[in-house]
Amino acid sequence: MLMDKLRDGAQGRVAKIIFWLIILSFALAGVGSYINSPASNDPAVVDDEVISAQTLEQSYQNERARMQAQYGEAAAQLLDNPQYLAQLKKSVLERLVNQSLLNNKALNAGVRLSDEQVKDVIRQMPEFQTDNKFDNQKFTTALSRVGYTPESFANSMRQDLIRQYWLDGILTTEFALPAEVSRLDALYQQKRDVKMITIPVETFSKQITVTDQDVDAFYKAHSNEFMQSEQVKLNYIVLNSADLAKTIQPADSELKAYYQQHAELFTEPARRKVSHILITDKDDNAAQKKADELLAKLKSGTDFTQLAKTESADTLSARQGGELDWFEKGVMDPAFETAAFALNQKNELSAVVKSAFGYHIIKLLDKQDAIETPYDKVVTIVRQKFVDEKAKELFADQQQKLSDIGFENPDSLDAVAEGLKLPLQKTDFIAAQQLPAEINVPAVKEQAFAEKLRDENTNSEVISVSDTVAVMLHVIDYKPSSAKPLSEVKDLVVAKLRATKAAEKAHTEAMALLEKVKAGQSIDEQLTKLNAKVEEKKGLARFGTDIPAPLAQAVFKLAKPADKVVSAGLYADEEGNQSVLVLEKVISAPETADAPLQQGLSEQLVKLKQEETYGALIEELRQKAKIKYAAVTPESAD
């Protein structure tokens, strides 16, 4: 139902749905009618494009890591379930199939991106920046941790961007009609009065008799609710760059030498402020010819600002007479940048410059040369950078030693601790969600509970916890996941059994009460007998915060009252209390429109239409494509 979808997304009067997250989290289409047997061991082949086992595994591991980082303990419990892992891997494969279909469609539609455009997007990603500037070291380190090379990441980004640009062109054409918004507004702002007759579950809890046979049967039937997670006992060694930094005490001469060798770090970079005119044309020769003609006009005295407004293909800057913001090196297209920084006199014009975007004529408006900050003004910063750099070098060196000694002495960490002068730390039996805070990251969890380490009684590889922390593990002992003994959980079993039986009894009584209400019969005797509570709830809103969302959903599912027909239904809360809901009045929305609300509803309606369009598009592409699958078994998801 539309209103149910809106409820799922509503967190206030004007809820927003972030479109690209919706796309990534769509429930994946079923594949039953599309499945054929592939001729190879590749997980899937989409038309002629192979989705390799390596691609699937990398995407699957990335999804696991994302879940663990986002949901923590809740994800850990799910990821302990082999059936869930198998389904997760199938879902990841379906997403890859969908992406392949969309990529092919976008490429066939002629969507292309230059290398420079892809690089520019990557350079602007906050994950790869330090002090708002692209940091190549951070970039390469981050990629290596997730198994990418710069080339493979750029290729993946190119596919993502092409796919998204094409999708944007399809999905941004959706719109909401005023009549649709008005109807949605009326439903959204409708309010209701209900009578709520609640039968407390505790009325029956005291009446429930639980025998040992009942307890034993319930325990056996619900043993999966009383599981002890798998546990490990670990020895581990932590290598921390911050600890290494404390051992570095540079001399003043070293700091001055560092300052001189890295002068660019302590220099405010040169900047340029320019205006430009961009000329584009499918015919490259025609574009260059037009640019040459415009340059000739400018040299003969034509006003640059007016010409930019009428001729530039860069519509955003054209409105400002071609004027761009200040920029430094490393931001613009290389050819554009070289030409701009070659200009030295204000109002000087460049020759026609060819970039990835077309042909430019550049005019220098202002410039700022590089300004070096004196050493005594930045000595603290110099020291910090020197120490950080040396700590990185020392950290890398110690990581290598950690790896070498751990490999040469695989049966324990004693030699590692002695060789690196680091403490050997130990845990008792712990579950995945109980790892010590300093090493509680997905990569460590995966290694700590890997069969290889415990079966081979060997040290782990060096595990990167962060850019500055690494760890090596050795599994000392292991306990598999198992049902806790009944003796340990008997009180919990009894409580669950009693609550279940009480809720069932309350539901039976509520059903009988509901029938009497619908029949218009007196319920006074039952109210007393059941210790029921009667409340009049006035003016309930569909998305209000004064009642729980499930209760509001139950209230607004009731049909409008009709003559001599009682509109009533049941509602059960999380504790098992049962309520009979009697709809007494429907209050229509005010006639005066709430403009901000209608704007928000219009946006949500467009998003919902985009979801439907996306789903239909995927379905159509799947129907037309030839998709072959190999089996993705629970074992392959381990």
Residues 510-553 have pLDDT tens digits of 999 999 999 889 999 889 999 999 999 998 988 888 889 999 99
Report pLDDT for 462: 94
Does 65 score more than 70 pLDDT?
yes
Report the distance separating Cα 401 and Cα 240, nearest Å.
Answer: 14
**Cα end-to-end distance, the chain, whole Å:** 37
Give the model confidence (pLDDT) of 375-396 as tens digits.
998 899 999 999 999 999 999 9
What phi and psi, each to the nearest 5 degrees, are found at residue 356?
A: -65, -15
| Mean pLDDT in residue range 32-39 | 36
Residue whose C-alpha is closest to residue 518's, from 558, 554, 568, 579: 568
Q: Between 446 and 38, where is the model more confident?
A: 446
Confidence of residue 167 (pLDDT cuts 50, 70, 90): confident
Q: What is the mean pLDDT of the chain?
A: 85
Q: DSSP secondary structure string, 388-446? A: HHHHHHHHHHHHHHHHHHHHHSTT-SHHHHHHHT---EE--SB-GGGS-GGG-SHHHHH
Amino acid at residue number 340 = A
8-state DSSP, 559: P
pTM of the model: 0.48
Q: Among 220, 149, 166, 239, which residue's Cα sits nearest to residue 423?
A: 239
**Residue 453 pLDDT > 70:** yes
**CB burial readout 65-90, b (16+ within 10 A) else e:** bebbeeeeeebbbebbeeeebbebbb
- pLDDT over threshold 70, residue 11: no
The percentage of the chain sitting over the pLDDT mark of 70, rounded to a whole number, equals 91
pLDDT, tens digit (0-9, with 9 covering 90-100), for 421-437: 999 999 999 998 899 99
CB atoms within 10 A of CB 453: 20
- 3-state per-residue secondary structure call for 191-258: EEEEEEEEECCHHHHCCCCCCHHHHHHHHHHCHHHHEECCEEEEEEEEEEHHHHHCCCCCCHHHHHHH
Between β-strands 463-464 and 133-134, what pairing exists: parallel, antiparallel or unpaired?
A: unpaired
- Given the DSSP bridges, would you call strands 425-426 and 371-372 parallel, antiparallel or unpaired? unpaired
CA-wise closest residue to 581 among 505, 510, 527: 510
Q: What pLDDT is attached to residue 593? A: 65
At 368, which helix (H) or strand (E)? strand 358-368
Q: Is the pLDDT of residue 41 over 50?
A: yes
Residue 310 has a pLDDT of: 94
Within a 10 A sphere around the Cβ of 488, how many other Cβ atoms? 12
CA angle 17, 20, 22 (to 5 degrees): 55
Q: Dihedral of the CA atoms 67, 72, 78, 79 (nearest 10)?
A: 70
Strand positions, DSSP E, 99-187: 129-130, 133-134
At residue 31, the pLDDT reads: 31
At 26, is the secondary structure helix, strand, or coil? coil
Query: What is the SS3 assignment for 171?
Result: helix
pLDDT band at 631 (very low <50, low <70, confident <90, very high): low
What pLDDT sits at residue 147?
Answer: 67
**Dihedral angle of Cα 631, 633, 635, 638, to the nearest 10 degrees:** 100
Amino acid identity, residue 188? Y
Tens digit of pLDDT for each residue in 270-327?
999 999 999 988 888 999 999 999 999 999 999 999 999 999 988 888 889 999 989 8
pLDDT-derived band of residue 563, with 50, 70 and 90 as boundaries? confident
Site of tokens 């581990």: 236
494 within 8 A of 215, measured Cβ to Cβ: yes
Is-contact 481 227, C-beta < 8 A? yes
Confidence at residue 10, expressed as pLDDT on a 0 to 100 scale: 39
